[in-house]
Amino acid sequence: MAFEIIMPKAGIDMSEGQIVKWLKKEGDPVTEGEIILEIMTDKTSMEIEAEKSGVLLKIVHHDGETVPVTTVIGYIGQQGENVDLIPQEEEEPQPVVQQGEEKPLIRMEENSYHVVVIGGGPAGYVAAIRAAQLGAKVAIVEKGTFGGTCLNVGCIPTKAYLKNAEIIENIENAASRGIMLESTKFTVDMDKVMSFKNSVVKKLTSGVEGLLKSNGVDIYKGVGKINRNKNVVVNDKQILKADKVILAGGSKVNRINIPGIESPKVFTSDDILFTTEVPETLAVIGGGVVGIELGQSFASFGSKVVVIEAMDRIIPMIDHEASDLLTQTLRKKGMEIITSARITEIVDKDNRLEIKIDGHDSVFADKALLAIGRVPDTEGIGEVQFEMDRGKIKVDKYMETSVKGIYAPGDVNGLWMLAHTAFRMGEVAAENAVKGNHREANLHSAPSVVYTLPEVAMVGLTEEKAREKYGDVRVGKFQFVANGRALASGDTVGFVKVIADNRYGEILGVHIIGPMAAEIINQASLIVEMEITVDEVVKTIYGHPTYSEALFEACADALGEAIHIPKKKK
């Protein structure tokens, strides 16, 4: 039986190739591995080798012709064999595409996909579902549990713990509101705490898998890596052929090189969510979002918590005033916070940890939590060479990497390591992978939230950054202690701060510390996205009494028109 020579698919985006020159004529003998022709793609020229030994029986397409990939261009067989007797497969008629219409997706064979997604976290599963909604045949490869960091060891588990902290605070404050309990003493059953947390996580992660299946996405469990042909290999065995690849590998716990950091008494932020003990003393290494949230959780459970932060303040990315107020509040609640601290060594002795700090007394603790953030998980890169930036995969505004046809949304690109920004980047990557690059990832109105008690949230520029960029700016501020809803709820710590352009009044940034900050900030994000001015906000009627009125009042203060702020004496 004659062997077909086909136009190879030499890249994700290769749809056709040009035959530059046949190096053999019909009737010439050929040997397996011998170069028999040259082709040209839109990127490079290639030499094609014979895959069988025999005779070049027939050349179907000649020098200079451009033909689609996988098209038969010639036959190799035995001398005298008649290729005209070989049954030809009928080509499916291709739909006619009118000018201006989108090119229809080509039907894919088994184990071949329009899009293969590596990673089932917020960026990955959203990308897979969006691509499927657009009509693509999609596969997703996940090495662990769907939902990524957020659902399994991040946003959701920590919020379950922090809700417990809120309940405990409410019990302690009940008497001040006239609710007299026989006893405010409590104990924390960590087995039940973990059981509740795990039930929430399982419900959400199984929900993600259900959404993928309902959208027709093929699921592969295992480690996915990209090979040199830009296909995806699962567990080093199964190859998934891909037109486009979306690498959404997420992130992993960051580690630092400190002597003694490998002690089993030092938890990572992943580990501590599976511990069934409440340590008597807990040293938190890192005063960022994760460290402060988990630190407050365990402080409410009964641990004596000491936070050790290398910078001059905790959560340094938030507004300076908000960071200062949060520090004061946490200290009042019994947490110790040490800033500008450089750890030199961790010594495990006498069943305790001694954490040595340059220029500071040692901190002694039963356990420590390493919470210095997360770094991109780039295991899925495989054999492909990407342009990188300090361990992060560089992407353009379309979420495409330096390798055409491969996109990298979410934590792997390090642009903004938040679940909600990963959702958006995943959507953008999917639409561009299926329809061609047309949609940009605009993240300037994405909020950041710290779910402490009190909550902290921000969107846009800080006051310092706004002054650097715009010079003179307006700043409006309103304290929750003057908000009726906050007073009635007994939750008055905090403020709303609005930064606006002095020329037009456009709102450049909003910073909130206080009750319902995580909810109010979504309204502020809409304001920033729509480029709304402080004048337009104060023309809006807000419901009363609501926490959101504090945002209204802060905008009015930026104009010097706030009603519920005492007039400043000149």
Task: Give Cβ neighbours of residue 395 (< 8 Å, ≥ 6 apart).
Answer: 401, 407, 408, 409, 413, 415
Q: pLDDT in tens for each of the 570 residues of the chain?
A: 678 898 887 655 567 888 989 999 998 999 988 889 988 875 556 788 888 888 998 999 998 888 888 888 988 988 888 766 554 444 444 444 444 445 567 666 668 999 999 999 999 999 999 999 999 999 999 999 999 999 999 899 999 999 999 999 999 999 999 999 988 888 999 999 999 999 999 999 999 999 999 999 999 999 999 999 999 999 999 999 999 999 999 999 998 899 999 999 999 999 999 999 999 999 999 999 999 999 999 999 999 999 999 999 999 999 999 999 999 999 999 999 999 999 999 999 888 999 999 999 999 999 999 999 999 999 999 999 999 999 999 999 999 999 999 999 999 999 999 999 999 999 999 999 999 999 999 999 999 999 999 999 999 999 999 999 999 999 999 999 999 999 999 999 999 999 999 999 999 999 999 999 999 999 999 999 999 999 999 999 999 999 999 999 999 999 999 999 987 765
Closest CA to 475 of 489, 461, 487, 486: 461
Helix (H, G, I), strand (E, B) or coil at 154: coil
Out of 61, 438, 444, 544, pick the active-site residue. 544
Measured CA to CA, the distance from residue 32 to residue 82 in angstroms comes to 21
Cα–Cα distance measured from residue 302 to residue 234, given in angstroms and rounded to the nearest whole number: 45
Considering the entire predicted model, what is its pTM?
A: 0.80
Tell me whether strands 224-226 and 232-234 are parallel, antiparallel or unpaired: antiparallel
| pLDDT given for residue 100 in this prediction | 40
Query: In the structure encoding, which two tokens stand for residue 344, read together?
Result: 């030199």
Q: What is the pLDDT of residue 564?
A: 92
For residue 511, indicate whether it is catalytic: no
Across 286-359, where does the E strand assignment appear?
304-308, 336-338, 343-349, 352-357
CB atoms within 10 A of CB 345: 14
The fold of 454-558 is Enolase-like; domain 1 (3.30.390)
| Phi, psi dihedral angles at 48 (to 5 degrees) | -105, 130
Same fold, 112-150+191-252+375-435 and 266-372: yes
Looking at residue 44, what is its pLDDT?
A: 59
For residue 62, the model assigns a pLDDT of 92
Contact 548, 523 (CB under 8 A): yes
HEC profile of 121-181:
CHHHHHHHHHHHHCCCCEEEEECCCCCHHHHHHCHHHHHHHHHHHHHHHHHHHHHHHCCCC
Domain 266-372: give its CATH code.
3.50.50.60
Instruction: Measure the CA–CA gap between 239 and 144, rounded to whole angstroms.
Output: 19
Look at residues 415, 386, 372 and name the one whose alpha carbon lies nearest to residue 270: 372
The CATH T-level fold of domain 3-85 is: OB fold (Dihydrolipoamide Acetyltransferase, E2P) (2.40.50)
Distance CA 387, CA 256 (A): 24
pLDDT at 196: 95
Residue 425 belongs to what H/E stretch? helix 419-435
pLDDT given for residue 405 in this prediction: 96
96: CB partners within 8 A, 6+ apart: none
CA proximity to 145, closest of 170, 119, 168: 119
Query: Are 441 and 428 a contacting pair, CB within 8 Å?
Result: yes
CATH topology of domain 112-150+191-252+375-435: FAD/NAD(P)-binding domain (3.50.50)
Compute the distance between CA of residue 339 and CA of residue 233 in angstroms, rounded to an integer.
Answer: 46
Beta-carbon neighbour count of residue 215 at 10 Å? 15
- List the chain domain ranges: 3-85, 112-150+191-252+375-435, 266-372, 454-558
Question: What span, in angstroms and rounded, lies between the C-alpha atoms of 372 and 102?
Answer: 46
